[in-house]
Structure 1
Amino acid sequence: MVMDIKLARIDDRLIHGQVATVWSKATGIERILVVSDDVAKDELRKFLLKQAAPPGIKSNVVTKKKLVEVYHDQLFDGMKVMLLFATPKDVLAIVNAGVKLDSVNIGGMRFSPGKKMITNFISVDGEDVADFEQLHQSGIELEIRQVPNDRKNNLISLMQKEKMLN
């Protein structure tokens, strides 16, 4: 057995009010794992993210390598977790290392120079598009919703409509 991943979400804000309360209630999780090599090295950000977790839910910040290790650890067998990522590149890395995901929720990727807005809360560049395409090729659903009650939108369909994919 392995950990029970109830939600894998890309949101560059990581833990914030919406994620902490709405998604954790909707998914019934016990733990939030922020998966980011950068944040794992930043003591202040780690501390702030732990403070942002909702009452009764543990949160940890782990490197991609650590997630792959604990994914198969018996200690986490059946534990209901939410994985939070800042980038599709980090998701692709853990999938390529053997972590099984059926679906990835895309919550927010802020605009910066060189990125193209595809919704009012998701902006991507060529690297993001390539990473999403690889995740899609490996059979992972890529769905856009800010909160659980929103209608699911398919990221790949949206990127095709925007002529970002062949």
Structure 2
Amino acid sequence: MEISFVRIDDRLIHGQIATIWSKASGCNRIMACSDEVAKDDLRKQLLLQVALKGIKAYVIPIETAIKAYKNPKYKNFKTLFLFTNPADVLRMIEGGVDIKSVNVGGMCYKDGKKQITGAISVNNKDIECFKKLYEKGIELEIRQVAKDNKINLIDRLKELKFL
């Protein structure tokens, strides 16, 4: 399986993914990877309805995504992986998925989180996971849409004195 793009966006599949990122990445598959969302049949069905025609979409648990990545029968998949949080990305990498770069596009504000951009808020667990990803050599970049300039997430966390 070829990884065409990896994004953290707690909305998972939505308009930007369907119209911008899927085209920019050249994917033919979208895998929204979340144990929680995979168990929620209503949310899962709503997410699958948003995908573009011609691009097969899945909402699956992390372990299923790891197994699919390693399965040779999916070698022709050019996959856009979506996650709701950095901990799940870390689980994928620790499970043997060869992720080199992660786009961070949307993590909504909730109590206990600190805002780092207008669209991204993080808690201490998120920061710790981003630090571990960075230490593994993973590029962590912030962009809302493909045409935006990349912002280094770790530099942003340091600038705000969160690291």
TM over 0.5: yes
Aligned to 1:96: 94
Opposite residue 102 of structure 2, the aligned amino acid is V
Aligned to 1:75: 73
Distance, in Å, in 2 between the alignment partners of 1:97 and 1:26 is: 27
Residues 1-80 of structure 1 mapped to structure 2, 5 A cutoff: 3-80=1-78
SS of 2:116's partner is: strand
Opposite residue 52 of structure 1, the aligned amino acid is V
Distance, in Å, in 2 between the alignment partners of 1:39 and 1:78 is: 26
SS of 2:57's partner is: strand
* Matched residue count: 163
1:117: Cα distance to partner? 0.4
Distance, in Å, in 2 between the alignment partners of 1:145 and 1:78 is: 27
1:19: Cα distance to partner? 1.0
Distance, in Å, in 1 between the alignment partners of 2:145 and 2:139 is: 17
Distance, in Å, in 2 between the alignment partners of 1:78 and 1:159 is: 37
Aligned to 1:156: 154
Identity across the alignment (%)? 50
TM-score, structure 2 normalization: 0.98
SS of 1:119's partner is: coil
Distance, in Å, in 2 between the alignment partners of 1:58 and 1:79 is: 10
Q: Which runs of 5+ in 1 are unaligned?
A: none
SS of 1:151's partner is: coil
1:76: Cα distance to partner? 1.1
1:78: Cα distance to partner? 3.7
Partner deviation per Cα, 1:108-162 (whole Å, 9 max, x = no partner): 0000111000100000010000000000000000000011100000000000111
SS of 2:30's partner is: strand
TM-score, structure 1 normalization: 0.96
Runs of 4+ in 1 over 2 A off after TM superposition: none
Match among 105, 114, 117 for residue 115 of structure 2: 117
Aligned to 2:142: 144
Q: CA RMSD in A?
A: 0.7
1:55: Cα distance to partner? 1.5
